[in-house]
Amino acid sequence: GIVPEDLEILKDMRDKKKIALINKIDKSFDDKIIEMKQQLSKKENMPVVIASMLDGTGMEDLLQAIEGLFLKGVIDANNEVLITNARHKQLLENAAQCLEQAANAHLQGFALDLVTIDIKESAEYLGQITGESTSEDVVNEIFSRFCIGK
């Protein structure tokens, strides 16, 4: 059933978009679960899914609930960027810093071959995230309209 700690968590998440998942129905399923679902649906005004992650029961309902948050405009996939890896976050910050330095160097009139150094470094950081090697082809594509060097 719902314990006081659950209610505290729900209180803290009142303004958040959420789905309640009642799991492990493969172990027991009774009227208390139905009552809990109704209580959460009404009181907390959120989708409630009854499922078993062990045997897959209710997975389709869970997917529909998640999809429903997106399709109803509750969550917009374009609202925020989600970075789940601290290393990736640092690499993205490094890449952005390099691009900012390249832009500033270009605006200050530095030679394009010097600007290219920061762009290459940024591409290397991004390549570490994607697993792709950043070759001369990337830089050549970026600067295909410029004459670099002597």
User: Could you read off the pLDDT of 44-72 as tens digits, one per residue?
Assistant: 778 888 888 888 888 889 888 888 877 76
* Stretch 29-40: mean pLDDT: 80
Residue 1 has pLDDT above 70, yes or no: no
Q: What distance in Å separates the CA atoms of residue 40 and residue 7, rounded to the nearest whole number?
A: 10
- Yes or no: say if 113 and 149 are a contact pair by the CB < 8 Å rule: yes
pLDDT at residue 136, as a whole number: 58
Residue 127 has pLDDT above 80, yes or no: yes
Residue identified by tokens 């789905």 is 19
- Yes or no: say if 88 and 127 are a contact pair by the CB < 8 Å rule: no
Residue 148 has pLDDT above 60, yes or no: no
pLDDT at residue 77, as a whole number: 54
Cα 71 → chain centroid: 17
